[in-house]
Structure 1
Amino acid sequence: MQAFLRAPPFHGSYCLGWLTSRKTRVFGRSTLAFALYERGSATNYITRNKARKKLSLSLADFRRLCILKGIYPHEPKHKKKVNKGSTAPRTFYLLKDIRFLLHEPIVGKFREYKIFVRKLRKAYGKANWSGVERLRENKPAYKLDHIIKERYPTFIDALRDVDDSLSMCFLFCTFARTGKCHVQTIQLCRRLSVEWMNYIISSRSLKKVFLSIKGIYYQAEVLGQTITWIIPYQFAHDHPTDVDYRVMATFTEFYTTLLGFVNFRLYQTLNLVYPPKLDGQGEINLKSEFEEDYALDSESYTEKLSALSASLARMVPTVEEEETQLDHFPTEGEDLEKMEVRDKMEQEQNTQKKLFEGLKFFLNREVPRESLAFVIRCFGGQVSWDKSLCIGSTYDATDETITHHIVDRPSVDKQYINRYYIQPQWVYDSVNGKILLPVEEYFLGVTLPPHLSPFVEETEGDYVPPEKLKLMALQRGEKPQMEEDEEEEEEEEDEDDEEEDDQSEEEDEAEDEANLAEMEEKRSRGKKLSVKVTPGKVKAENRKRTAEEEKAEEKRLAIMMMKKREKYLYDKIMFGKKRNVREANKLAAKRKAHDDASKADKKKKKKKC
C-alpha cells in the first residue's frame, strides 16, 4: 500500500511519449506492413517456389503437373503488393489452383517414379540384372483419363479445344526418330492423325484449305464446331537447339490422350469400326506382290490406312437409300427470308461436299501426295498414284477413265487426249471457291493465278483483289474471261478512237483559228457580225439528288446534336474507316500500276512480233 502511494502521478504527456518511442514506432510500422501484405488480394497468389515446396516436387515435375492439369501463371494487378513490396521478377500462381493440385493422384505417381529411378540406378550399380528386369516390369504408370474428364465435362468442350491437339500431333509426325523424342510418341501421333483424316474423309467435313509458308491450313466443321489446324510440309529438318522438347512432349502426352477420346467418339457417331479397318479387307494377307518391298508385314495395314485411298469399314453395313428432303418450318421469331437463306446455305454445303464426285485423279511423283489425296477424297473424288511411289494405289496412269492428271513440272513426255494435265493449285482453289474452276489457267507451264486465302472476309471499304472479284463472278454463273477479252478489245478500240479524235480535234482547232481570223478582219473593216439569241430551257429537278442532299443535311445536323462522348466515339469510328479506305486506295493504286506495266510489256512484245 505504501509502494502504491509512492508511485508517481499519471501524466498524459509522459504516457504518450512512452507509446511513441523509437523502438515502438519501428515495431508498429512493421506490424502495419505485415498486416498490409497478409490481407486482401495479396493472399490470393503464391510464388512458384513456395508452390513447388508445398507440393514437394522438383521444378520439372511441377511444370509437368501444371501443363497436364491446365494450371497457368497469373499476372497480379498489384504486383508489388503481392510481392510484399519487392520489385524482383517472380512467377505467381493462384493459391486456390495450388490447393487444387494437392489432392491430385498423379503427384503420388511422380514420387513413385522418382523412387523407381533411384532403385533402378542402384540395381545397375550392383549389376543385379534380375532386379533390373523386375523393376522394369513393375515400372509405375499413370493415366490421364480423369484429367480429360475434369477439364472437359462434355464432348463439345473437348471438340472445341482439339485444334492445338491436331497441330501438335501433326507436327510430331514429321520428327525424325532421334533421341529428342520417343519413337512410341511419334508412332502414336501418326496413328491418331491418320484416324482423324480418315474421319474427315468419311464425314466430308472439310471446308477450307490454304497453302502458306508455315504449312497447310485446314478447316473443317465437325458436329457444328469449326476446327482449324495446320500440317507442316514434308521436308527433312534438323531439330533446333533453342526449343525445350520436354515441355512439348508433356503437351503431346496430354493431347494424344484427348485426341484418342475424340476420335473414338467421332467414329461412333458415323457407325465406323474403331480402331479403323479398311472396308472388305482384313489385316492378314493384305500385301500384294508389288507392295512387298515397301513395308514390313506388321506395318502394311497401317500404311494402307495412311494412304487414304480406301473407305473404312462400318459396324453395320449401310444400305444406299435415296436422300430424303425434309420440310423446314420457320421457328418463332424467324422470318421467311432467314429460312430461305439457311436453306440456300445448306444447299451450297451439300453441293460442295460432292464437288469432285465422278472425277478420277492421278498424282504424279513430284506433287504432295498425302495432302492432295486427303482433299480429293474429302469431296468425293477418286485418286491414285504410281505403284512404286506408295502403297494404296487403286489404278494405273494408263487408265483411260482418268479425268485430271496432276503434275508439277513444265511438261510431260506422254500425254493422253481425254484428260486434263493441271497443276496442284487447281484442287485447292476449286475447294476454296466451292466450284470447279476453269482449267485453262492451271495448265502445265502457265503462270498460276494468286492463291487467295479463304480465311479473309472483306468488309465494306476493304480492298478486294481482281482475282477475288473474278471468283465471285464465277460463283454467280458469269463468264469473266469473255468480259475481260471484250474489255481489252474495247480498250484497243478506244485507243484507236482517241488517236482519231486527236487528229479531228487538231483539224477543228485549225478551222476555229481560221474563223476567228476572218471575224477579226470583218470587225476591223467595220462590218456587222451576225448575232443569234436562242431561248433557254427549264432545267428539270433531279429528285434523287435532292433526296441525297436532304439525307446528308440530316446526318450533319445529327452529328451536331451529339454529346461530347458520342462525338468522340463517332470520330474514332470515322477515323478507322478513313484509314481503311486510304489503305484500300493505296493497294488499288499499286495493283493498277502493276497491271499497266504488264499491259505495256505485252504491247511491246506484240509490236516486236
Structure 2
Amino acid sequence: MGRPKKKGTSGAATAYIHRTKAIKKLQISLKDFRRLCILKGIYPVEPRHRKVVGHGNQAPRTYYFVKDIQFLLHEPLINKFREFKHFMRRLKRAYGTKNMNSASRIRRNRPKYKLDHIVKERYPTFIDAIRDMDDCLSMVFLFSVFPKTKETDTRFIQLCRRLSVEFMHFVIASKSLRKVFISIKGIYYQAELFGQVVNWVLPHSTGFAHPTDVDYKVMKTFVEFYTTLLGFVNFKCYSSLNLHYPPKLLLDSPEEEVVEEPKVKQRGKKRKNEEKLKKLKERERKFVEKESVEDRLAALSQTLQVKGTGGPEEEVDIDEFPASETDDPERVELAKQEQEKLEKFQNLFKGLKFFLNREVPRETLVFIIRSFGGEVSWHSTHAVGSSYPETDEKITHQIVDRPTMANTYLSRYYVQPQWVFDSVNARMLLPVKDYFMGETLPPHLSPFVVEQEGEYVPPEKQALVNRQRGIDSGIEEEEEDSDIEDEEEEEAEGGEESGSVVEDSSEEEDDSEESDEDSDDEQSEETGPPAKKKKADSKKKSKKELNMSVEAGTVEVENTHKRHQQKTAEERRLAEMMIPKKKKRLYNKIMHSRKKNAQEARVLKEKRVAIDKEKKKEKKKQKLT
C-alpha cells in the first residue's frame, strides 16, 4: 500500500488561489492586477467548497484559478506596468525638484504598449470577435456621448466617437440593421453581421449627470481593450466590402500634391519668421480640413468610396446555381422566398426622400433611414452634411415632432419620428395617417419581445402580425361594429321607453291566458302521478311544435380550421398517452407553467377589455358634451 496523501495537496485545495497570494506571486499592485485581469479576460470564480479551498478558513475571499494566474506570469504587459511605475517615480521627482526641462524630457519618453496580441489570444477567429461585440459596442457608444470631464479622458472619447461612426457607416453600407427600439435607457439596435446577431444600446443625447457610485477607472480599462477590438473588427468589415479604411467619402476630392519650392538660402530672422508663419498656416489649414472631413463622416449622409474605382459600392447580382438532386426542392424554394423578403426589407425606404426638422434626433434617424436605402437631409444651418434643401419638391416625407407647422407642402407627408421606427420593426411601410402631426401615437411595441404559445399578445401586435401576413387587421371593422352596436343599444333603450305602454296591455292579456294553463300544468306536475306528468310533457311538446316553421336549406360550409384543430388535439392526446412514466412529471410541469401563462394572459386580456370600454365611454361623453 502507498502512503496516504497529505491533506490540502491535491484536488480543489490546489486548483484555486486567493487574490492576495496571486498579487504576491505576480509582484504587481492591486490596481495593475485588476487592469491585467480585465484586459486578459480573467475573472474571479466561486469554489464549491470554500472550507476545503481555504484550508479550513471560511473568510470571504476572492478566488481565481491557479492556471489563470500561471498564464498571467508570462504576460509582457507586466513589464510595461513596471516601466510605467518607474516612469511616474522619475516624473514626480523632477516636479519635486522643479526641474521642468527634465520633466518635459521624461514626459516625452512615456512608455507605450499595445493590446493587439491580447485581442488575437482572446478571439482566435473573426466570428468569435463578432459574437462578443454586444458589450464592446454598448461601451464604445456610451463613451462616445460622454462630455469632457476630469473623470473621462478626452482621448478615449474622441477615439470612441471615431470608431462608432465608422461602425455605423459599415452597417449602412452592408444594410445589416434589423431592429430598432426606443426605451428609457436609450435606443436599442440589432444588426446581423456575418450571420451573427449583434445588439447594442445608444444612450439618449441628454444632459449628463455625473454619477458618484461609478468607478470610471474600471470602465476606462474596459474601453481601452474594446477600442482595440473594434478597430480590428472595423478593418475586417471594411475589407469585406472592398471599402477604404479609414473611410473616405465619395465626394472628397483627391489630395493635392504639395510641390516643394527650390530651397533658397535665407538670411536673417525675417526669413525664419516667415517660414514659421507659413508652417503654422499650413498646419491650421490641414487641421480645418481634417475637422471638416470628420464632421461630414459623422453626418452619415454621404456614401463611402470603394477601393480601386473610387466610386460607390455597386450591387452585384448573385449567380444562381441549379439545385442538385440531393437538395430538398421545398427547402430551396423557402430559402429563395426568405432571400427575396430580406432584400425587400433592406430596401424598405428606397425611392423615398426624407427631410428632418431641427427638433428630431438627427443622427439616429439618418442612420436608420440610410440603412434601408432612403435619402435624407436637414437644414444646412443645423449641421454639416445636408444634401438638399427643404424646398425640394421630390421630398416624400418630412419628420416633425411638433403639433403644427406654419408652412406646409401638399406634395409630402408630415409624420412623427415613431413612424420610421415602427415601419422598420414591422418590416413594411405602415399607414401614415396614425403618425401625422398632433396625432396620438399608437403604442411603440418592442420587437425584441417574442410571445410564446399561450402568452398575452396585445391587440396592436396581433393586428400588425395579421397585416404582415396579408390578412386584414380587423381593428377598423371592430370599431365600426362597436359604434353600430352602441347606436342600436341607444335606439333600443329609447324604443323601450316609448313603446312600453302599448305593449304592456297586449302582453298582460297573453300572460293572463297562459298563466291559468301554466298554473294547472305546474300543479299537475307537482302533485299528480307519472301518467299526468307524461300528459303535461306532451302538452309542452305540442306547444313547441306549433311554433315550428320550415326554412329554406343552406349549404353547410366545412370549417377546415376547426377540423384541423380537432385533428391536432387528438394527435396531442395520443402523444400524451405514449409519454413514458419517467418523463411524465417533467411534462406535467411544462403544462402547468403553460396553464399559468394562459391564466395570466386571460387576466391581461380582461384588463385590456375593461380599459377599452372606459375609453369608449369617455368618447361618448365627449361627443355628447
Instruction: In structure 1, give the amino acid aligned to 2:129.
Output: A
**Structure 2 residues without counterparts, runs of 5 or longer:** 257-283, 522-534, 549-555
Are 1:364 and 2:354 counterparts? Answer: no
1:67 paired residue among 10, 33, 38: 38
Match of residue 151 from structure 1 = 122
Over 3 Å counting, the alpha-carbon distance change for 1:502 and 1:137 in structure 2 is same
How far apart in 2 are the matches of 1:489 and 1:298? 63
SS at match of 1:226: strand
- What is the rounded CA distance, in whole Å, between the counterparts of 2:154 and 2:342 in structure 1? 40
Displacement of 1:247: 0.4
Mapping of residues 346-425 of structure 1, within 5 Å: 346-425=339-418
CA distance in 2, matches of 1:577, 1:398: 57
Separation (CA, whole Å) in 2 of partners of 1:439 and 1:546: 39
- Distance (whole Å) between structure 2 residues aligned to residue 214 and residue 469 of structure 1: 26
Deviation by residue 1:106-159 (Cα, 9 ceiling, x = unmatched) = 000100110111111112222222322222222111110111110000111111
3-state DSSP of counterpart to 1:220: strand
Q: Report the equivalent of 1:126.
A: 97
The one-letter code sitting in structure 1 at the alignment partner of 2:394 is T
Match of 1:583 among 586, 600, 615: 600
Q: Does residue 432 in structure 1 map to residue 425 in structure 2?
A: yes
Change (3 A) 1:583 1:517: closer
| 1:355 aligned partner, one-letter code | L
Distance 2:559 2:240 in 1: 61
1:10 is aligned to none
- Paired residue total: 560
1:25: which partner in 2? none
Deviation at 1:560, TM superposition (A): 7.2
User: What is the one-letter code of the residue matched to 2:604?
Assistant: L
How do 1:308-347 residues align onto structure 2 when only pairs under 5 Å count? 308-317=300-309, 320=314, 323-324=317-318, 326-327=320-321, 329=323, 332=326, 335-347=328-340
Calculate the aligned-residue CA RMSD, in Å: 3.4
TM-superposition CA deviations, 1:235-254 (whole Å, max 9, x none): 12122111010000000000
Q: Give the TM-score taking structure 2 as reference length.
A: 0.82
Distance 2:417 2:228 in 1: 35
Find the aligned partners of 1:554 and 1:278 in 2 and give their Cα distance: 61
Post-superposition shift, 1:553? 8.6
Corresponding residue for 1:301? 293
Residue of structure 2 in register with 1:101 after alignment: 72
Distance 1:501 1:160, change over 3 A: farther
What are the Cα deviations for residues 31-55 of structure 1, in whole angstroms up to 9, with x where unaligned?
99x9322221110000000000000
C-alpha displacement of 1:548: 9.1
Q: CA deviation at 1:340?
A: 2.7
* Contact 1:330–1:339, Cα closer than 8 Å, also in 2: no
- Does the alignment pair 1:175 with 2:146? yes
State the AA in 2 paired with 1:399.
D
**CA 1:325/1:496 → structure 2, altered by over 3 Å: closer, same or farther?**
farther
Instruction: Please give the alpha-carbon distance, in whole angstroms, between the structure 2 residues aligned to 1:283 and 1:341.
Output: 47
Check whether the contact 1:279–1:312 (CA below 8 A) recurs between aligned residues. Answer: yes
Partner of 2:6: helix, strand, or coil?
helix
User: Secondary structure, in 3 states, of the residue corresponding to 2:189?
Assistant: strand
Amino acid at match of 1:430: S
Which segment drifts farther, 192-201 or 493-502? 493-502
**Contact kept in structure 2, 1:421 and 1:443, CA below 8 Å:** yes
Task: Tell me the equivalent position of 1:163.
Answer: 134
Give the 3-state SS of the residue equivalent to 1:299 in structure 2. helix
1:601 aligns with 2:618: yes
Equivalents in 1 of 2:465, 2:611: separation in Å? 22
The sequence identity of aligned pairs, in percent, is: 52
> For 1:305 and 1:606, how far apart are their aligned partners in 2?
53
Shift of 1:74: 0.6
| Residue of structure 1 equivalent to 2:280 | none
Residue 451 of structure 2: aligned partner: 458
SS at match of 1:75: coil
Aligned to 2:260: none
Per-residue CA distance 1:378-409 (angstroms, 9 max, x = gap): 00111111111111111111111111111111
Distance 1:324 1:303 in 2: 35
Specify the alignment match of 1:573 in structure 2: 590
Query: How far did residue 488 of structure 1 move?
Result: 3.4
In the TM superposition, what is the alpha-carbon distance from 1:162 to its structure 2 partner?
A: 1.3
2:532 aligns with none
**Change in CA separation of 1:330 and 1:607 when aligned onto 2, cut-off 3 Å:** farther
Q: Give the alignment partner of residue 489 of structure 2, picking from 464, 471, 495.
A: 495
How far apart, CA to CA, are the structure 1 residues paired with 2:465 and 2:405? 33
Q: 1:342 to 1:502 in 2, by over 3 A?
A: farther
Give 1:536-555 correspondences, 5 Å limit: none
In structure 2, the CA distance between the partners of 1:335 and 1:590, relative to structure 1 (3 Å rule), is: farther
Match of 1:515 among 496, 513, 516: 513
Deviation, structure 1 residue 499: 5.2
In 1, Cα distance between the equivalents of 2:574 and 2:466? 40
Kindly state the Cα deviation for residue 423 of structure 1 after the two structures are TM-superposed. 0.4
Distance 2:35 2:334 in 1: 49
Q: Matched residues in 1 for 2:520 and 2:584: separation?
A: 67
Q: Which amino acid counterpart does residue 238 of structure 1 have in structure 2?
A: A
Alpha-carbon shift at residue 351 of structure 1 (Å)? 0.4
1:426 partner amino acid: W
| Match of residue 265, structure 1, among 236, 242, 250 | 236
Output the CA distance in 1 between the equivalents of 2:463 and 2:564. Answer: 34
Given that 1:330 and 1:336 are in contact with CA atoms closer than 8 Å, whether structure 2 keeps it comes out as: no
Q: 2:55 corresponds to which residue?
A: 84
Post-superposition Cα deviations, 1:418-460, rounded to whole Å, max 9, x if no partner, equal 1111100000000000110000000111100000111111121
Q: TM-score, normalised by structure 1?
A: 0.84
* One-letter amino acid of the structure 2 residue matched with residue 593 of structure 1: A
Going from structure 1 to structure 2, the CA distance change for 1:364 and 1:283 (only over 3 Å counts) comes to: farther
Distance (Å, rounded) in 2 between the aligned partners of 1:321 and 1:560: 56
AA in 1 matched with 2:430? L
Deviation of 1:324 after TM superposition, in Å, equals: 4.8
CA distance in 2, matches of 1:358, 1:395: 15
C-alpha distance in structure 1 between counterparts of 2:125 and 2:253, whole Å: 34
**In 1: Cα distance, 2:339 partner to 2:182 partner:** 26
